Structure formats: C-alpha cells, structure tokens
Structure 1
C-alpha cells in the first residue's frame, strides 16, 4: 500500500491510499478518484515528503523492544496476558480448536497459527476464534 498526497484543479488537498502507483493511475484514468470537497475527478499527485520517524533513544538507534506509544503499550500488555494465560499450540491451532469445540479434549485457552482459509472455516463452523494483533514470539525479529 502507498499513500499519495493529491489535489484537484480547485487546489483542494487530500490524501488517499492505493495498492500501488499503477493502481492509482488505473483508478484515476477511469474517473474513480475524486476530490472529497468538490467531487472533481481531475485529481493529480502533489509533492510529497517521506514520513520519517525520529529515533526512540538518544543514541540514535531505535529500541524497538520497548513500547513507546499508548497503543504499543496496550498491545504489549495484551500479548503478555495471552502468553501468560494461554497455551501456544503453533500450527496445530486449527486441529486443537476444532477438537475442543467437538468435546474431544477439555476446553482451555490456546493460541497459535492458522491460514486465512482455515480460520474462516472455523468461524463458519461456529468454532469461537478471534485473530490476535501480533505474531507469535518465534516469528518476530
């Protein structure tokens, strides 16, 4: 995904996300990119500057393991709670969740990994699952 700064012939500035530069051009050529203020489809890219985040510590190297924002802190707390109170079952998540749902094994809190099509099938079959907003520790850098 890429974010472009855009403007219309009336000089209204706005931003929008696109799958790629080519996707923007295709949508613009078809008249599907319009100014949110005046509705003009004569939209063009405007000058953009990259968004660079300053380093998190005085040494100039970011300490990515220490949460900085409230959202990062909340996510770190959620991860800590999930890891403390649940069993990581890895790639066996789908099988284990289905076995618990069918009563073949006792219910317990688990988390793991599943392909999107497998997770959708669990939901369709009424198995109570939810995606987590983080990857398991073994999968992170």
Structure 2
C-alpha cells in the first residue's frame, strides 16, 4: 500500500492509503475519496515522502530491529538488507527520478504549476533548508534509490 498526503480544496490535510497511483486517481475520479473534515470530494495529492506499507511491516524502529533480531540477540543483517532493498525498489517503482531538478520540481508542484506526483532526486543542504522554509514537505532517504535503474 502507498500512503499519500492529501488535501481538499479547503486545504484540510489528511492521509489516504492506495494500492497504486492509478488506484488513487480512479477512486478520486469516481468521488470515493473525500475530506474527513468537510466532506469535499475535490481532493489532491500533496508532496510526500514515499512511505510504502507492505504486509505486516514494522511500525516503529524498535519493531524493525526486533523483527531482524535472532533468538541469540544478534541482528540478522541479511533481513535488514532485504527490507531496505525492498523499500528502495518500491520507491523506484512509485516515483519519478528528476535528478538535480528536485528543488525546481518540488517548488512547481507546491505552487500549483505542475501536477503533484511522487519524485526523487538530489539537492544540496542549503536548497533543502530553503524548501523547508517555504513549507515544502519532503524527506531525505537514508540510502540511494537512483541507481542502477533510475527512471
């Protein structure tokens, strides 16, 4: 499942869980997605950090470590590596790589110049801080997801 940050025409923020970007658009277009505050059906995706929920994924860091911890107390780094690789693949599959244009694309979506979509890319610390000061929501990933098959 993909968790999207959504907002209605009145800018009430809320989350929605969908199996794919097409699933969100299909449900929205059929009037099945509505704001829990005002019941508006004019809902848009907002910029979000990818957060993919697959099966019974751990909800906290503690649960993730416990899931990878063997009975003898040692961490199973193979399980951790597998989980990270799976997440990275989900990010690659559900976002567009915009490379060095990340800040430009994020701003264009934030200010309504472009349609909202999941993107990933690169920016320097100063530009990232400027984006945050503008109220543009994003998250840095703790691992690269733009290689070897960036698209």
TM-score by length of 2: 0.45
Q: Which has the larger radius of gyration?
A: 1
The structure showing larger relative contact order (alpha-carbon pairs under 8 Å, at least 6 residues apart) is 2
TM-score by length of 1: 0.48
